[in-house]
Structure 1
Amino acid sequence: MRGMDDVVDYLLEGDPSIRWQVLRDLTDASAAEVAAERARVAHEGWGARLLGEQAADGRWDGGTYRPGWVDEDRPFFDAWTATHFSLQQLRDFGVDPADPAVMRAIELVRENVRWDHDGQRFFDGEVEPCINGIALAVGAYFGQQVTPIVDTILGGRLADGGWNCWDEDGTSRSSFHSTICVLEGLWAWEQATGGTDASRAARLAAEEYLLERSLMNRKSDGTLIDPRFAMASYPPRWYYDVPRALDYFRQTRSADDPRFAPPLALLRSKRLPMGLWPLELTHEGPTLFSFEREGEGFPSRWVTLRALRVLRWAEASGA
């Protein structure tokens, strides 16, 4: 197995969007080194390329949630090229919100982009919690006023503590997919604004919803809910998986909670002999371009970065 230094060197051969996060999360690099590498994201590699795909009207690929060429009669057609998922990806890349090129891109979105069905402004959100969770995370990250999204999210909580995009009357079971999207959004908003008692209570209740199920299992019999939950994907889009959940929890809790033991064991079991982690699942749909050199089953810098920073968090707590 490669030593840690070799793995870090391999990760640092990747795109600036990966390199700056490796420096921040896996090395003892100074804040100045991290900031200098992060500053490259908007102007080199994937970050610059994605920013360059934005049109003068503020949109990516002619649409807000789905690209302009998608037939609205195909509601389950996933395409990852429109504005919503492009903004999610820019946040994941970690582009500096204070970079003038980024500020201009977000200004175009704020002033021009509307949701496809009812015409609300993008940063006011829409109705489905999985979509609103991502939009909330994006808006908070880029310093936008997103209180209307928070209000909509808090009003849509289900009795078991989470959210479900398919709920129509408040009686559905929560969805892991919807709940992780909302959790990421609420956490980002709390970090940006301090949050409220209501938002913190909702976030903690939703975290418990996932933890009570070991991040992947049915509460009733302990069996795996969905095989995809145990598979590392990138980019995750609106989909849930255990590595995504662990990457969220490393920011919000200590790993000494014994309920983290099963998902952490799963993550450790996926490590390849050379010390890297593979991409196990790609969510199908058109993309503007690929963020992985190779496909499923091959080592992934993104998955490895996320796995290593999760394990660093876990080992700091003795987990």
Structure 2
Amino acid sequence: MDEIDPWTLGLLSSPEPSVAWRAHRLLAGLGDDDPAQRRRRELVAESDNVRRMLAHRRPDGTIRKGNETNAYRKWQGPHWTLAGLAELGYPPGDTSLGPLVDQVFAWLLAPRHLRPPSTAVLPGQGDRIRRCASQEGLALWYLHELGLADERTEILAARLIEWQWPDGGWNCDRNPTAHTSSVQETLLPLRGLARHHRSASTAPPAHLADAVDRAAEVLLRRRLLWRRHDGAPISPDWGHDPLRIQWPIRFYDVLFVLTVMAETGHIGDPRCADALALLESKRLPDGGYPAEIRTARTVDVVASGGIFADWGPTGHTRPNPYVSIDAAWVGIRSGQRDGTAITPLRRASASR
């Protein structure tokens, strides 16, 4: 068994509870039923980051700016607050977050959400519904991570499957000539559906695992980061260079796509090899990995591009603890550092 580098091992004893929880979960393999892990999650709920993120709740438990009802407001509205809490390891089942969850569903389940411009169906293209499915995908993921999923999450999962394009992904491009899925709009629905699949209390339907594998194939056909027709790096319409690690808002990049491949059981596919090599090339001498591009700035007020939590350092030469844990875990799952790759969902389901 290969030894994990000393710097990464040091994360296990980090004084920041979210870092310690993440390290023990991903690197030490401790489950949520472990008493020490439960205590770490309790400490996460008491941490400065969580306090900052939830300090802007109103007496009714909602987060609003004035009379604003937009749950998607970047990056400090209810949608992104819940996503951040899930990333930090906030303890599951906290009913005090119910008003935030209701805000998210009031947005996603509103009738106008299914009408233009939010959702569009072009003439003769009923099999290619134009929808920013990343919104439903992210919500599906964090609701399960936070133990706050209910019958409404089934609606989100059903929508994602209904909106899946013939090639297996999703796209919100309203240009009639757009005929293939967007990698950016496919990654989060893939993650959300896979998380939904893992949370099934009974044997999940076969079409759910099928949808996950089809979505993963959209990314694998491009070796995750390179265009199919000429092999050049993909150039997203929004976000930053996907060959560089972006944090804390996760745009489509080398680390995030490999993380999702590991979560969904596809990290052992040979088509991940080039992206894995790229990620490993970013490993710093001390063993950590950097957050190369900062996607949100830490602030104390509601501000454009702002986020309340402190997600660690950014820069090419400074290791970021959250990024380092995820990158090390990807290496473990791929078999490059320790352990073996897990099987894709379709095959794993058959052995349940």
Please state which band the TM-score falls in when normalised by the shorter chain: 0.7 to 0.9
How big is the shift at 1:113?
5.2
Q: Equivalent residue for 2:291?
A: 279
How big is the shift at 1:121?
11
What is the distance in 1 between the residues matched to 2:82 and 2:169?
24
How big is the shift at 1:221?
1.6
Residues 1:301 and 2:318 are matched in the alignment: no
Structure 1 letter corresponding to 2:163? G
Alignment of 1:1-319 (within 5 A): 4-10=5-11, 12-13=13-14, 15-27=16-28, 31-62=34-65, 63-67=69-73, 79-98=74-93, 102-105=94-97, 107-112=98-103, 115=106, 119=110, 128-141=132-145, 142-145=148-151, 146-167=153-174, 171-193=178-200, 194-226=203-235, 228-237=241-250, 239-253=251-265, 255-284=267-296, 285-297=304-316, 298-315=318-335, 316-317=339-340
Residues 183 and 255 (structure 1), Cα distance of their counterparts in 2 relative to 1, 3 Å cut = closer
Identify the structure with the greater helix proportion.
Answer: 1
Q: What's the C-alpha RMSD, in Å, of the aligned pairs?
A: 3.0
SS of 1:292 mapped into structure 2: coil
SS of 1:229 mapped into structure 2: coil
Moved more, 29-38 or 157-166: 29-38
What is the distance in 2 between the residues matched to 1:80 and 1:190?
27
What is the distance in 1 between the residues matched to 2:29 and 2:142?
28
Contact (CA 8 Å) 1:16, 1:38: kept in 2 or not?
Answer: yes
SS of 1:108 mapped into structure 2: helix
Contact (CA 8 Å) 1:64, 1:84: kept in 2 or not?
Answer: no
Query: Please, which runs of 5 or more residues in structure 1 have no aligned partner?
Result: 68-78
Q: Equivalent residue for 2:350?
A: none
Contact (CA 8 Å) 1:42, 1:96: kept in 2 or not?
Answer: yes
Query: Please, which runs of 5 or more residues in structure 2 have no aligned partner?
Result: 120-130, 297-303, 343-352
What is the distance in 2 between the residues matched to 1:169 and 1:104?
44
What is the distance in 1 between the residues matched to 2:159 and 2:46?
35
Structure 2 letter corresponding to 1:306? D
Contact (CA 8 Å) 2:71, 2:103: kept in 1 or not?
Answer: no
What is the distance in 1 between the residues matched to 2:263 and 2:104?
31
Q: Give me the identity figure in percent.
A: 25
What is the distance in 1 between the residues matched to 2:266 and 2:185?
23
Deviations 1:208-263 (A, max 9, x none): 111111110111121111371111112234x2112111111212226432112111
Aligned length: 300
What is the distance in 2 between the residues matched to 1:278 and 1:170?
38
Contact (CA 8 Å) 1:60, 1:82: kept in 2 or not?
Answer: yes
Contact (CA 8 Å) 2:136, 2:156: kept in 1 or not?
Answer: yes
How big is the shift at 1:24?
2.0
Contact (CA 8 Å) 2:49, 2:309: kept in 1 or not?
Answer: no
SS of 1:59 mapped into structure 2: coil
What is the distance in 2 between the residues matched to 1:268 and 1:97?
33
